[in-house]
Amino acid sequence: MTETATAPVPAEIPETGGPWPRSQRWWLLLVLIVAVGLGVRLWYLFGWMHPVVVQGDPLYYHQAANLFADGRGWPDPYELKLNHRYVPDAQHPPLTSALLALPSLVGLTTFLEHQVFDCLLGTLTILVVALTGRRAAGPAAGLVAGGLAAVYPGMWINDPLLMSETTGILACSMVLWLAYRFWDRRGYLDAALLGLATAAAALARAELLLLSVFLVTPLVLMARAPGGLPVAEAATASWGRRAGMLAAAGAACVLAIAPWAVYNLTRFNEPEYLSTGLGTTLAVTHCDTTYHGPFLGWWDFKCILKIKNEPTERSERDVFYREAAYRYIGDHKAELPKVALARAGRTWGVFRPFQQVRFDTIESRPAGLSKAALFSLWVLMAAGAVGAVLLRRRRALLLPLLALPVALTVASTMVYGTSRFRAVAEPAVVLLAAVAFASIRARFVPRGRHSGSRATARAEQAGQEREHPQAPAPAL
């Protein structure tokens, strides 16, 4: 990985030939895009997803939010609803239900009201993605990224379902934005904010803690301090500063997760930190029917039914199911590469994609919209590959946009493959594709049409809208 200094580029270039400065026009267009995105999500909700049978994970998140808002802690909502037993539980990390508890606190407790709130969270993601694209590759790329986030089905198909994917997408979008912000500023506070966002992602989906390994750690270790010192002193100071910033990011991440982890340690018999759901997940994904045949790489609830005498206490049950899955894995090690590839292929829509569309209907995803999301994904992945090459050629920061899909893919290979697991990596796909589409736009829009447009085009082509343009840009 090499680093090169780049020429400063003004953060905002005013345009004097029209009634609005260029920066104000950018924000007006973004407001319009966000409004369109909200309209799409509400159309999907009221046109497709209401009314809907409330069951499975959506029921869990909905009921857990209301229970938490009522001050009843975090029990298993299924047990409470069906058997009237209060059983402490952490089947899912808490962030999704904790956010849904916000409308519950003001009396908005119905499933529909929670669906609308989730659509608002999804709409907020559009803003964050646009800001990330603007910071990473210029104003045009930011607007294109926002537009894609507004209308691409992969970014909104989960919103009215009341699943953790909406929260995960928003958290991962914040991670990407703060990663670029950190790279521009290279400060301890910026590192801590990046660690905090990583913790939020993990509290939405536990496997996203992998971002601390695939993104935060390498990004911080790549960040050199500003120059001005002799070479030897600068190298020593730079590594010391990197270590300090990495410690700040780690401390912020740990402190954010600590209240939930400590709460779990006080109420379960076995140590649990983020979730008690790993054992159940492994139990339904490691068996004969998921290693062979039509369910290869997916899950099968019949797997867990074959495991008898499971404990009632949730942490003990988690350990029980994990040990059963590990035994099966140990007996079928030779088949793991095949299964892992099938899982990754299902997640990214390249292994039995239309079968996966049928499987997705189990989670209330309309088959027609799932197909539209699949075809759109293929287009965006092709454009994203071009966008990655363009960023590489510009020596712009590429690591965050690659680390998120890689971390998600690794997590998917360890559990199972499904379209919704891909959701949290969709912002990176959208941003990479936006770079390619913005580059096409720059080739065909005359640069001299407006005053100041030449300088702006150079800024967009270089991917350089920086708050601190003196910071060096890496090759990766």
Exposure string over 252-268, b if 16+ CB within 10 A, otherwise e: bbeebbeebeebbeeeb
Rounded Cα distance between 254 and 248, Å, is 10
Q: Which residue has the tokens 């942490």?
A: 315
The confidence band for 442, taking pLDDT boundaries of 50, 70 and 90, is confident
What number of H helices and E strands is found in the chain? 22, 2
The two three-digit tokens of residue 124, written as one number: 């907020």
Q: What share of the chain is helix, strand, coil (3-state, %, to 5)?
A: 70, 0, 30
Mean pLDDT, to the nearest integer, of 287-309?
94
Is 205's pLDDT higher than 60? yes
* Amino acid in the structure at residue 160: P
Helix spans in 70-163 (H):
77-82, 95-105, 111-137, 139-151, 153-156
Q: Span 312-322, mean pLDDT?
A: 96
The mean pLDDT value for 88-93 works out to 96
Confidence of residue 463 (pLDDT cuts 50, 70, 90): very low
Q: What is the mean pLDDT of residues 285-314?
A: 94
Could you tell me if 171 and 197 are in contact, meaning their C-beta atoms sit under 8 angstroms apart?
Answer: yes
Give the closest residue to 449 by CA, choosing from 18, 51, 67, 126.
Answer: 18
Cis peptide bond prior to 259, omega within 30° of 0: no
Q: What is the mean pLDDT of residues 30-40?
A: 98
Q: Tell me what pLDDT residue 7 has.
A: 37
How many other C-beta atoms are found inside a 10 Å radius of the C-beta of residue 124?
18
pLDDT confidence of residue 239: 87
Position 476 scores a pLDDT of 60
Quickly state the pLDDT bin for 474 (edges 50, 70, 90): very low
Mean pLDDT check: name the lowest of 46-50, 152-156, 428-432, 446-450.
Answer: 446-450
Phi-psi region of 318 (alpha: psi -120 to 50; beta: other; left: phi over 0): alpha
DSSP-derived secondary structure letter, 301? T
Q: Output the pLDDT for position 461.
A: 46
pLDDT of 306 > 60? The answer is: yes
pLDDT (average), residues 161-170: 96
**Is residue 304 very low, low, confident or very high in pLDDT (cuts 50, 70, 90)?**
very high
Question: Looking at the predicted structure, is the pLDDT value of residue 208 above 80?
Answer: yes
Residues facing 3 on adjacent strands: 474
Question: Across all residues in the chain, what is the average pLDDT?
Answer: 89
How far apart, in whole angstroms, are the C-alpha atoms of residue 176 and residue 404?
A: 8
Instruction: Supply the pLDDT for residue 444.
Output: 73
The stretch 11-34 carries a mean pLDDT of 73
Q: Is the pLDDT of residue 8 over 50?
A: no
Taking only Cα atoms into account, the Rg of the chain, rounded to an integer number of angstroms, comes to 23
* Band of residue 19 on the pLDDT scale cut at 50, 70, 90: low
Taking the C-alpha atoms of residue 172 and residue 198, their distance in angstroms, rounded to an integer, is 8
Find out whether 172 and 424 touch, Cβ atoms under 8 Å: yes
Minimum mean pLDDT range among 166-180, 189-203, 247-261, 430-444: 430-444
CA atoms within 13 Å, Cβ hemisphere of 362: 14
229 pLDDT band, cuts 50/70/90, is: very low
Are 283 and 327 in contact by the 8 Å Cβ rule? The answer is no
d(CA 275, CA 319): 12
Spatial neighbors of 476 by CB under 8 A, at least 6 apart, are 1, 222, 392, 397, 398, 399
Q: What is the pLDDT of residue 424?
A: 96
Query: What is the phi/psi pair of residue 473, to 5°?
Result: -105, 135
Of the listed ranges 170-179, 258-267, 324-333, 467-476, the least confidently predicted one is 467-476
On the question of pLDDT at 469 being above 80, the answer is no
Question: What average pLDDT does this structure show over 31-39?
Answer: 98
Query: Using CA atoms, how far apart are residues 137 and 132, in angstroms rounded to an integer?
Result: 8
Distance, in Å, from the CA atom of 72 to the CA atom of 313, rounded to the nearest integer, reads 18
